[in-house]
Structure 1
Amino acid sequence: MAVTDEAIQKLKQMINTGQLRPGDRLPREPELAAMLNLSRNSLREAVKALSLINVLDVRQGDGTYVTSLDPGLLVDAMAFVVDFHNDDSVLQFLEVRRILEPAATAMAATRMTDAQAAELTKVLDELPPDPSVEELVANDQEFHRRIVDGSGNPVLSSLVESLSSRTHRARIWRGVTQGSAVERTLAEHRAICQAIAQHQPEVAHAWATVHIAGVEQWLRQSLRDAEPRPGEGP
């Protein structure tokens, strides 16, 4: 199990046992790291990940709190970041998304007006210079939504939107755990946007395929890494 996953699992256990309840403030970082027998760095990464999925609320100058979600919802949310490694259903959604979304992107390159393409560029320009993972994923969702809407096919748009929502958490987790994910996503978005603005459907299709395949490749590797090595586990 990855160190960050181990830290999350230990925090999850504290909620399961009632040591942490909704609204509680976490002990100071050095104290909590010692309690859980974790390095402060791994604890910090776990807190960052859990804040992105709204399990923890980091308040600058005040401390870190468990959100007001009831214990069952908190545990369900925390289970995702560890248990998704053992569930390939997200991978299946990504496989279908890789088939459909490049087609929608190619259609958008032929059907979006220059004004719509300019608005798409504005979506990317709204990101701050050093975006957080949460800001990037929210921007990513809006960017892809506008593209599939620009395909002019509401049935295809609805299908892709449904597939995209099923992979939202996986995209957040990739941003947390893969250091190059933010830069790669920004560069690929710019390339897709340029192909649409220049009305190049084949180029737009190719870049959309590369973009989605990158997430799929990362998830496949994560699943392989999570498999027990010989002599480990059952």
Structure 2
Amino acid sequence: MSLTDGAIARIRELIRSGALPPGSKLPPEPQLAAELGLSRNLMREAVKALVVARVLDIRRGDGTYVTSLEPGLLLEGLSAAVEMLRGETLLEVSEVRRLLEPVATALAATRITDADLHELRQHLKAMRDCRDDPQLLTEHDAAFHRTVTLATGNATLVSVLEGISSRTLRGRVWRGLVDEHTADRTIAEHEAIYAALADRNSPLAQATALVHVSTTEDWLRAHLRPDDPSAAQLG
């Protein structure tokens, strides 16, 4: 472990232990550095790293604070990290989505509200109206799934799925551009998911979501090859 990593670990431990709870202000830099036995330079480097990680927030003229530590904030960088993945890792991301999204949809079926269902109907209508526009169709596709995930009431699950779904978004647009039957199939699969959610049928919601996500993954496996120049569109 480098000296900077060690300094980061010391500050993280203060936060994990509750000595510096969410929203609290850090002691002045010289005081905290002395308490942790760190040089001021190491302290600054550690603070900078934790600011990038959304653990700390520097308020100019006021001081440094621990953030809310909410999942949406701490996991915000997941999407950017996943975007850096290359090659066949796109298929690995699709596998993760297949493992998580159907379960999330099953959970949503037990918690979904009438307002959520109304929003899903709006996205379904938009998908039907823009079936000839793969980009717009995929945007409403993603919004549909975000609404479903939000209905779980699990902020961590929302953040994780948002982070990995962004990496598969371009793959889904690409599929829409090269496969003329994608739009009708995609809309039909979303209608099936909606029907299961509207019935509050958790097992059926999970099954319909699994069919939908697996269809996309199977298509990618059939068309994405390491030496395929088209794969560059997804990287």
Residue 98 of structure 1 contacts residue 213 of structure 1 at CA under 8 Å; is this kept in 2? Answer: yes
CA deviation after TM superposition for structure 1 residue 118, in Å: 2.1
Q: Which residue of 1 aligns with 2:17?
A: none
* Cα distance between partner residues in 2 of 1:116 and 1:198: 13
* Cα distance between partner residues in 2 of 1:216 and 1:130: 20
Q: 1:155 to 1:130 in 2, by over 3 A?
A: closer
Runs (4+) of structure 1 exceeding 4 A deviation are 224-227
Q: Which residue of 2 aligns with 1:205?
A: 206
Count of residues in Structure 1 that have an aligned counterpart in Structure 2: 145
Q: Which residue of 2 aligns with 1:109?
A: 109
Question: Match of 1:190, as an amino acid?
Answer: E
Q: 1:207 to 1:107 in 2, by over 3 A?
A: same
* Cα distance between partner residues in 2 of 1:143 and 1:117: 10
SS of match in other structure, 2:122: helix
Deviations 1:83-136 (A, max 9, x none): x9x811110000000000011101111101123212211221123164310111
Q: Which residue of 2 aligns with 1:160?
A: 161
SS of match in other structure, 2:200: coil
* Cα distance between partner residues in 2 of 1:130 and 1:184: 10
Question: Match of 2:92, as an amino acid?
Answer: Q
Deviations 1:11-59 (A, max 9, x none): xxxxxxxxxxxxxxxxxxxxxxxxxxxxxxxxxxxxxxxxxxxxxxxxx
CA deviation after TM superposition for structure 1 residue 223, in Å: 2.9
Q: What is the root-mean-square deviation of aligned Cα atoms in Å?
A: 2.3
Give TM-score, length-normalised by structure 1.
Answer: 0.58
Q: Which residue of 2 aligns with 1:189?
A: 190
Deviations 1:133-153 (A, max 9, x none): 011111111101101111111
Q: Which residue of 2 aligns with 1:94?
A: 94
Give TM-score, length-normalised by structure 2.
Answer: 0.58
Q: Which residue of 2 aligns with 1:215?
A: 216
* Equivalent residues in 2 for 1:133-148, closer than 5 Å: 133-148=134-149
Residue 123 of structure 2 contacts residue 141 of structure 2 at CA under 8 Å; is this kept in 1? Answer: no
* Cα distance between partner residues in 2 of 1:129 and 1:165: 20
* Cα distance between partner residues in 2 of 1:144 and 1:157: 10
* Cα distance between partner residues in 1 of 2:174 and 2:130: 21
SS of match in other structure, 1:179: coil
Q: Which residue of 2 aligns with 1:126?
A: 126
| Structure 2 runs not aligned, ≥5 long | 1-84, 229-235
* Cα distance between partner residues in 2 of 1:214 and 1:184: 9
Residue 111 of structure 2 contacts residue 151 of structure 2 at CA under 8 Å; is this kept in 1? Answer: yes
* Cα distance between partner residues in 1 of 2:176 and 2:126: 19
